C-alpha cells in the first residue's frame, strides 16, 4: 500500500473509531437517563431530583463537547490543516532568516 493510500486509510479508520465512540456515548447517556428516571419514579423514596437533573445536564454538556470535537473540530483540523500550518510557519521562519541574512550582509564592516 502506498504512503498516501495508507494515510487515507488510517484517517478513515480513526474517524470511524471516533464516530463509534460518540454513538456509544449517546446510547449510554440515553439509556442511563431513562433507567435513572424510571428507577427514581418507581422507588418513591425521598430523593432529591435536582441532583439527578444536574448530573444528566453535566453529562449532556460533555456529550455536546464530544459531538463538537468529532463532527466540527476534527473535520477541518485534520492532517492537511496541520501540514498547511507547518508549511506556513516554516516559510515565515525562512523569510525572517533571509531578511536577517540580507540585513547582516548589507551592514558596513568597521
Q: Is the pLDDT of residue 67 over 70?
A: yes
Contact, 21 vs 71, CB < 8 A? no
pLDDT band per the 50, 70, 90 thresholds, residue 82: confident
The rounded distance, in Å, linking the Cα atoms of 16 and 22 is 10
* Domain ranges within the chain, ordered by starting residue: 3-76, 78-110
pLDDT digits (tens, 9 = 90+) for 10-48: 888 888 998 999 999 999 999 988 888 888 777 766 666
Q: What is the DSSP string of 5-67?
A: HHHHHHHHHHHHHHHHHHHHHHHHHHHHHHHHHHHHHHS-SS--HHHHHHHHHHHHHHHHHHH
Best CA proximity match to 75, nearest among 85, 84, 67, 83: 67
Amino acid at each position: 500500500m502506498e504512503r498516501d493510500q495508507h494515510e487515507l486509510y488510517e484517517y478513515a479508520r480513526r474517524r470511524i473509531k471516533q464516530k463509534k465512540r460518540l454513538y456509544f456515548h449517546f446510547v449510554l447517556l440515553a439509556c442511563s437517563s431513562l433507567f435513572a428516571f424510571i428507577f427514581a419514579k418507581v422507588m418513591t423514596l425521598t430523593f432529591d431530583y435536582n441532583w439527578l437533573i444536574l448530573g444528566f445536564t453535566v453529562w449532556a454538556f460533555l456529550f455536546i463537547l464530544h459531538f463538537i470535537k468529532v463532527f466540527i473540530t476534527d473535520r477541518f483540523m485534520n492532517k492537511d490543516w496541520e501540514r498547511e500550518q507547518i508549511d506556513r510557519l516554516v516559510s515565515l521562519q525562512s523569510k525572517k532568516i533571509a531578511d536577517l541574512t540580507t540585513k547582516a550582509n548589507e551592514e558596513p564592516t568597521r
